[in-house]
Structures are given as C-alpha cells and as structure tokens.
Structure 1
C-alpha cells in the first residue's frame, strides 16, 4: 500500500447536480479518510479537490465514476495538483 499523499482536482460532468452528488462525495471522503472540498459549478459540473493517500484517492475516483444512484456521470477530468493542507472535507457554495 502506498502512503504517498497526493492531491487531485476533478471535474465531473453529466447529471451530477440535484442528485446528492456532493453529499455522496463527502460521505465517501470520510469513509476513505480523504480531505478536500466539492462544489457545484454554474456550467452544471461538480468540482472536487481531494487530498490523501494515493491508494484511497484511486478508490475515490472509481466511486466518482459511478456516483450516487440518481446521477449519470458522462465525463471525469482528473488533474494532479500541489498538496494543500485541508483540515477535513467540506461542501462549498
């Protein structure tokens, strides 16, 4: 298991707003001990920054591709970022 801490900046498109996607992300982040934030964008996408163990982030990205039951993910854009120091996971407005 890799212990390297990394950060990913993810943009999720599809039917991802109004379906509980940010809360789905927040719950899975807590389960995987990841930090960061998620917010809805005006263009209909959800933006997410996740920070933590690389193995856990890979698990999260797999979950993001599926989303909650009412979501329909069409595309996932994943970018690497420099690591910020987050105290937890939050939803931004």
Structure 2
C-alpha cells in the first residue's frame, strides 16, 4: 500500500473533475479524497496499490471531457489508513 498527493491545474473546477476522480478512484479500489483549492487547482490524496495509484495519476492527465488539464504533480506522502472509501471534501 502507498499514498500519493496529486495536484492538478488547468480548467479543472466547475467541469465535474472531482466527481470523475471519485468514480475513477473507486473503480481502482483506492481510498482517499479530492477537493478544490482556492487557487483553482484540484488536490487529491489517494491510498492503495501502487499500480492503481499510477493509473489514477495518468488518468488525471486527461480528466473528464470538459476539463483542460495543464499540469499534474504527484508526490508520495506518508500513508494515512483512516480513509474509508473515496470522498469529495470542501474547498480549502
């Protein structure tokens, strides 16, 4: 098990990006959360199998149809096993 923090920039707010992340992560068996940031980016923290995390990072480069992803950064972060499922959080 591993955990990644993913930051996505571009036109990623107001286009269904968070809902898309939740569905994509759930299909991959990942746990964690996604939220909008006040600076216009989307932040994702996901835990699970390394291959599934890699798939999520790559999928985030494309996003849902209305999104225009400009940049995706991902970094390993210390694992937090307190996540139950994959959820949307309020804007930070």
* TM-score bracket, shorter-length normalisation: over 0.9
Length-normalised TM-score, structure 1? 0.94
Structure 1 stretches of at least 4 aligned residues deviating more than 6 Å after TM superposition: none
Question: What is the CA-CA distance between 1:33 and the residue it aligns to?
Answer: 0.3
Match of 2:48 among 48, 52, 55: 52
Unaligned runs of 5+ in 2: none
State the Cα distance separating 1:39 from its structure 2 match: 0.2
1:90 is aligned to 87
RMSD: 0.5
> TM-score scaled to structure 2, two decimals?
0.95
Give SS of 1:66's match: coil
Map residues 70-89 of structure 1 onto 2, 5 A cutoff: 70-85=66-81, 86-89=83-86
Aligned residue for 1:31? 27
Number of aligned positions between the proteins: 89
Encode CA deviations 1:26-52: one digit per residue, 9 max, x unaligned.
Answer: 000110000000000000000000100
